[in-house]
Chains A and B, each alone.
Chain A
């Protein structure tokens, strides 16, 4: 079992996400995270799926995803061959700030993106290990809310999707 990133290049078609997730559900495989967005090309969407599975399973998932009529192309990568980021937001009550926050923000390269009378919101962008580390620390500060995005990623190899979209 290993962590893989699956990229799916699709037409912007209602229900496509449903068709993709069914393939995982059928085999009882959990999707660790999923992000969908428009691509560089108009009308083409890209979906990034993070999954922990064996390579044989990932190959079959990718083949079955690619079989979906409105999917243009699907590939998979190991962590080493993608550049990826996740974003995390942390909401902390002002009442719990004890002067230690500055150090934490500096050490983790986090940002304050909102400050309200009752709470502040920190943002950290990075790999899951990094956002998780900050989460553990901020739990000691009465963390009110935490949200983390799925992975956004680009492949390291020099291949663009244009060749599949003719």
Chain B
């Protein structure tokens, strides 16, 4: 054996370092122990965060990836360690989050024998990964990691899983790291078709009521500046999807609000009144479109999209502009006329005023006794930094926080959009905070979701990540309860929770905690939380049976969005 040969486990760690990974989230176990042994030697170059569950590790990697724009990395052992990653993989796949997940696997001679902690993780994770591979030979480790990073971050990003047998980790091999720069079956750069730009510009220039919908593609494609220039020249009003929030500052004059089931009134309603609909880096999710048969039928649709499989998937378009929206928006900006649509804009304003009077004012400045979720977010907005990151879980609090958090910067929004994974927020907030301790990370979570991954308070304690946790406690699985109230005759079937003393739990984890039950104490509590040096747990007891409005009920059209 040559002196230059090193263990496969060392190759794993050195490959991660070669890919500029700074931090990984994980949990050890039998089949990944050689890699953990190697990590011990490189802890000054590669930080490892020990979560309390593998699901926590992958959600933390997602949170890290979403705010940093880098590839999130997590590691787990074989069998249950690997299967615990599946929810996070599915979440990252549907929300296009770049991840590289490394799992240990039983030694190659045991594969297929039902060995201890053996599971076919490549088979199980196939539908939930952009790419996956099993590595059984030490010489294949570095090329697989190089290819994995390239696939995860290029094109439309997504999660990659690399399953490495224990013998590949313990065998010795040469380490010559060659980053992957591309391969023939996978093309990431799509040149923009000039004719598509001309056709799109023609439609836009003729339009009387054009309307832009933008999604996370703008953030993933780093096209925020291009979007802004396009909107400023064309004068077109623009609304965002859940994951598109932050791509354009909400203070921008062209910004008209949020789309979807619990988005704003005007942006949903007026979708069915525009004449040209310009979708930028969004995929017409059913939570955005409502009933497809009655969605924007009057409009000519232009779709700026990187992923060819999204074209005509849900909404048929007149013009498809394939490619990165960073490129297409720039070309489109050159091709469109300077314009403004004061009458069209006024329509948005009129409906926004209506929503403001009926929904927003009562939410943010309530006169009733119970605290509203909206007023809590409103107070957070008053004291937060401009670049504060909001991490939310899934449910009523998610929709309220999204509606009222005033997004000003890209990559300040971390939530589980497509999959709707309860339990996402706490570990994702930890991951987001691990990227930068100096940023404000506010984790808004419900009393249902927090109990799905509450063990990660332990990771927050151990890392001292200064996450500000705002628990909006209504002692209900609120979103399900709202649906039960509206669509199931108020039959509250298994949605009421007997909750533990959350403050005691937080304090047991050595996290400073405070509980607010009265409106008068709210402002000071939020101030205390945001200036606190270190993690903080704020529980706010809110109205038990509040509902989120506006709402487009399932099966309804966007124009049937209701204010109550």
Q: Which residues of B contact A71 (CB under 8 A)?
A: 185
B-chain residues with CB within 8 Å of residue A107 when the two chains form the complex: none
CB distance from B82 to the nearest CB of A (A): 16
Task: Tell me, yes or no, whether A30 is within 8 Å of chain B by CB.
Answer: no
In the complex, are the beta carbons of B309 and A60 less than 8 A apart? Answer: yes
> Do A166 and B126 touch (CB < 8 A)?
no
Question: A59 on the interface (CB 8 Å rule)?
Answer: yes
Tell yes or no: A37 within 8 A of B by CB: no
Verify if B300 is at the interface (C-beta below 8 Å from A). Answer: no
Closest residue of A by beta carbon distance from B132: A15
- B500 proximal to A (CB < 8 A): no
| Chain A residues in 8 Å Cβ range of B151 | 69
Q: How many residues of B sit at the interface, in one of the four size bands?
A: 10 to 19
Which B residues lie within 8 Å of A115 (CB)?
A: none
Docked complex Cα distance between A70 and B133 (Å): 11
The listed residue (B123, B126, B309, B312) touching A67 by CB distance below 8 A is B309
A69 touches B185 (CB 8 A): yes
A72 proximal to B (CB < 8 A): yes
Q: How near does chain B come to A41, taking the closest CB pair, in angstroms? A: 11
Q: Which of A59, A63, A69, A165 has the most CB of B within 10 A?
A: A69
Binary flags per residue of B297-315, CB closer than 8 Å to A gives 1, else 0:
0000000000111011100
B311 touches A63 (CB 8 A): yes
Asked if B184 CB lies within 8 Å of chain A CBs, one says: yes
Decide if A64 is an interface residue (CB 8 Å cutoff). yes
Chain B nearest CB: distance from A71 CB in Å? 6
A110 to chain B, nearest CB (A): 41
Bound Cα distance from A166 to B307, whole angstroms: 21
Assess the B311–A69 pair: CB atoms within 8 A: no
A166 CB to nearest B CB, Å: 6
Asked if B126 and A18 make an inter-chain contact with CB atoms under 8 angstroms apart, the answer reads yes
> Is A10 within 8 A of B185, CB to CB?
yes
A97 at the A/B interface (Cβ < 8 Å)?
Answer: no
User: A63 touches which one: B123, B130, B185, B308 (CB < 8 A)?
Assistant: B308
Find chain B residues with CB under 8 A from A96 CB: none
Docked complex Cα distance between A10 and B311 (Å): 23
Provide the B113-131 mask, 1 if CB < 8 A to any CB of A, else 0.
0000000001100110011
Docked-complex contact A67 and B185, CB < 8 angstroms: no
Across the interface, B184 reaches (CB within 8 A) one of A15, A26, A63, A165, namely A165
- Taking a contact as CB atoms under 8 Å apart, the answer to whether A67 and B184 are in contact is no
CB atoms of B122 and A15 under 8 A apart: yes
- Does B494 reach chain A (CB closer than 8 Å)? no
Most chain A CB within a 10 A radius of its CB, from B184, B185, B308, B312:
B185
Cβ–Cβ < 8 Å partners of A56 in chain B:
312
Give per-residue flags for B371-415: 1 if the beta carbon is below 8 A from chain A beta carbons, else 0: 000000000000000000000000000000000000000000000
Who on chain A is nearest to B185 by CB? A72
Which residues from B are CB-within-8-Å of A59?
A: 312
Residues of A that sit less than 8 Å from B by CB? 10-11, 14-15, 18-19, 22, 26, 56, 59-60, 63-64, 66-67, 69-72, 165-166
Interfacial residues, chain B to chain A (CB-CB below 8 A): 122-123, 126-127, 130-132, 134, 151, 184-186, 307-309, 311-313
Closest 6 CB pairs of A and B: A63-B309, A69-B131, A72-B185, A67-B309, A64-B309, A70-B185
